[in-house]
Structure 1
């Protein structure tokens, strides 16, 4: 943990009187002496409704009289022209007036947002700003991205004496009018005539005004993302913002993913796939990130910093949790740097890729010829292991003499499920007769059973589990095989070296004879040919719903299967491990 002192106290400039001057007299007089005026966020005026003032965590009506058309016209006449994005401002202030229009284009509502210049907000990432690397600020609307951007521009221009150009599309960074607000210091500001032209102005700034730093607010289109990459490749430091709480959201956004390097599908060779323990087709980062550093502004005083965006993206694409910095600022101005808690995901099983060929014309089960000579396995030895597993299942299932839980807990084990289907959990527990009880109260849980992809984004649950010393077990997907394997592992019944017993009732949606027959065909293929003889097998053609059940059954054996052919002859091929 590192602590560093804030270099200066925060100073706030809001020019609030100029915003109040555009409001009708009744609203202005109410707000001029309001005890919370210094923290007011915005004033909302909708035609035919009571005016409203919003403060952190609360809102209150300013008048019992509804807003009239005259009230709206009074405000509109005192602000600048509304641009293509329905925003206007008050000259030489940072306030933003946004309009709502009806279908005829008439203004029927106004949102008068208070703009504040806050000096000292960048102390939390001052070292990153001074590094000369490009920084991307992420966060939900209203968390303070634009305020931070404005202060970063001032620090770079005034304190570090750099040539800074701000691309101010909505005049939010430097205020309305031809003369920019003093809050940006010596930085220069380029206005954008229409929002859709922002990417052109970005390139123009680099070509015409030789900046060392470009500051951009709200990168939101593919053209703007491409322009940002062009600027970064020319050696100019970029400071920008984008909507999205976390870097994972940006990664899933096809329009903006290029800001963090983009994603492409890559086919690995057999050796590399085995080395990584992954499938042959994987997602990888396409290019170096446009921004070297990403800052997630979760709260005004708590920011998460990814100092190496490239490493963060690579870890996310490979299923590993990143370990970013967490920077917080106390009321006294102390900046505290820690690291976010992360969990290590369970390695994926390595799928074996093979490409056998051939099709059996009869309904009898025959192995498909494989170019690789199958390894010889003593089937009697396999049958012995199967019988031993059966006896163990009988002992567990009938007498419930289970071993202790994962950490020595007494059984039955109380499990708190998160993002896993409760009905499927109940089905597996009942069918396999497991000594497990599901609970909705984490205080009484011995273990948390969670879906891995959901757990990644739930740091609060991970922290809570760590505080209460409750272990977390994850599954890759909410399917019957994954759930059954995970629950058996919890009560120490899962031996990777022992073939698993299969209760076909787990995989059949009903007692339909066709379903049971198809599942029995798949089970026999696995147990009599694929496992003992190490040869692939093709099954009879089945409907899509039955093929799905067969896929799940085969996954239960830790084997891989694929559908091929055209309906009505589409069928499964099972591959040996």
Structure 2
């Protein structure tokens, strides 16, 4: 990992780390500072924890250590409080012109009984892995567990877009964590401008104010967590301003299941389907669907400093997840030479999948030949004919496909199969079919069924007319595609 090599060797991505650790050590009790200064791995320090009545601890990448056997006293806590800025309503404070964050734990009387000193670092070069996305102009949402580097990547995006892309960038810095404490922003944000927030409950108002008053091209927001902030984010996106932010959540599934923040990815609503539509989908009548276009076009799940999972079409991914399909984001990682390597993550079933959908339901992105074995098994009893008819000419040929008819008569299919001696299995539900056969008239109407089939990757064949001859020629064409000898070629039905 890149951050394990900060102090020891040149990392794969050229990075510059600006830690200001000395300024943080100055506000800590003397015995704590002395214990830290002699450590060779000081560059990998994450947090210093001071809890009343307990020994002081330091948290490093490799684990936690006790800095001193003597317990922390109220004088130690007061020593720190007197040397930092005032705590806000979110119990956070900072050190002026640094990125360090000091958070307080209070008792019922409002007295500070614990302090967490989190080391803030400006790491230049961290967005190389998603730099093309940042320059695309699309709205980007960063997700990840605490401490994985969301804010660090957000800060670097602000600098790169302001300095290299020459865009007007505004940072809504609620806790002064992106641009540091004090009135003068930290140099790590480059030429980006920073708007401070009086209290966290006013973050949504400052977001709107930034758009109305300062004509930004890009707005950077950290830690969106309320419905008001989600609504403000949608307003900003609808005004044509590029929006880059972070939200509470580890994966896209977490947002889908989060009623407060689901609006960021379009929202989820309950829809009652008609009998025919429910039958076509092969699901219950009450289903979940996306409510509106997503605020963010791209979701990036930060897995580590050198690996992210990217959902580049959030609308499509959310629709697939709600319909029970497996989702497979593109995983980007940094190679040994600093190049970005892209791989397809193994499909995973969304946590928000309705229970009525099968866990084995194939993904639209997967090959249409990858179906559950039991549903692909050809019935020996039905291999003579779908309709019980016998072929009139020669030996029967069987194609291992399941066909769903839409606007095509089943009796005509059976007659065509009997005429040409080519047989398919029938599917009574669209979700069980491997191909759809319809007519040009039905296809042009833009039926919901056709849209669902195309969205799921199921091939749709279109006949000019609903006649036995047309269906028979379709069967011959399909058989030739599968390598069967069925005689000379004829005009092929249209595939969509």
Report the TM-score when normalising by structure 2.
0.69
From 39, 43, 47, the counterpart of 1:42: 47
From 101, 111, 124, the counterpart of 1:119: 124
Rounded to whole Å, the distance in 2 between the matches of 1:93 and 1:87 is 14
Secondary structure of 2:224's aligned partner: coil
Rounded to whole Å, the distance in 2 between the matches of 1:86 and 1:192 is 14
Q: How does 1:292-371 map to 2 (within 5 A)?
A: 292-342=297-347
Rounded to whole Å, the distance in 2 between the matches of 1:98 and 1:281 is 46
1:77 Cα deviation from its structure 2 partner = 0.6
Runs of 4+ in 1 over 3 A off after TM superposition: 347-351, 471-474, 494-497
Rounded to whole Å, the distance in 2 between the matches of 1:76 and 1:247 is 38
Rounded to whole Å, the distance in 2 between the matches of 1:267 and 1:289 is 22
Q: How does 1:448-463 map to 2 (within 5 A)?
A: 452=359
2:259 is aligned to 254
Q: How does 1:85-104 map to 2 (within 5 A)?
A: 85-104=90-109
1:36 Cα deviation from its structure 2 partner = 0.8
Change in 2 beyond 3 A, CA 1:31/1:7: closer
Rounded to whole Å, the distance in 2 between the matches of 1:100 and 1:139 is 24
Rounded to whole Å, the distance in 1 between the matches of 2:29 and 2:307 is 38
Change in 2 beyond 3 A, CA 1:194/1:325: same
1:321 Cα deviation from its structure 2 partner = 1.1
Q: Give yes or no for contact 1:124–1:328 (8 Å, CA) kept in 2.
A: yes
Aligned Cα root-mean-square deviation (Å): 3.0
Report the TM-score when normalising by structure 1.
0.59
Q: How does 1:486-505 map to 2 (within 5 A)?
A: none
Rounded to whole Å, the distance in 2 between the matches of 1:70 and 1:121 is 39
Change in 2 beyond 3 A, CA 1:327/1:203: same
In structure 2, list runs of 5 or more residues that go unmatched.
Answer: 1-10, 364-369, 383-496
Q: Give yes or no for contact 1:40–1:53 (8 Å, CA) kept in 2.
A: yes
The reply to whether residue 275 of structure 1 matches residue 280 of structure 2 is yes
Rounded to whole Å, the distance in 1 between the matches of 2:348 and 2:243 is 32
Secondary structure of 1:20's aligned partner: helix
1:75 Cα deviation from its structure 2 partner = 0.7
Rounded to whole Å, the distance in 1 between the matches of 2:143 and 2:164 is 24
Change in 2 beyond 3 A, CA 1:317/1:109: same
Change in 2 beyond 3 A, CA 1:331/1:77: farther
1:137 is aligned to 142
The reply to whether residue 12 of structure 1 matches residue 20 of structure 2 is no
Change in 2 beyond 3 A, CA 1:172/1:66: same
Q: Give yes or no for contact 1:156–1:162 (8 Å, CA) kept in 2.
A: yes
1:411 is aligned to none
2:484 is aligned to none
1:272 Cα deviation from its structure 2 partner = 2.4
Change in 2 beyond 3 A, CA 1:105/1:213: same
Figure out how many residues of one structure are paired with residues of the other and give that number: 363
The reply to whether residue 201 of structure 1 matches residue 108 of structure 2 is no
1:299 Cα deviation from its structure 2 partner = 1.7
Q: Give yes or no for contact 2:140–2:297 (8 Å, CA) kept in 1.
A: yes
Secondary structure of 1:41's aligned partner: strand
Rounded to whole Å, the distance in 1 between the matches of 2:313 and 2:359 is 24
Q: Give yes or no for contact 2:102–2:115 (8 Å, CA) kept in 1.
A: yes
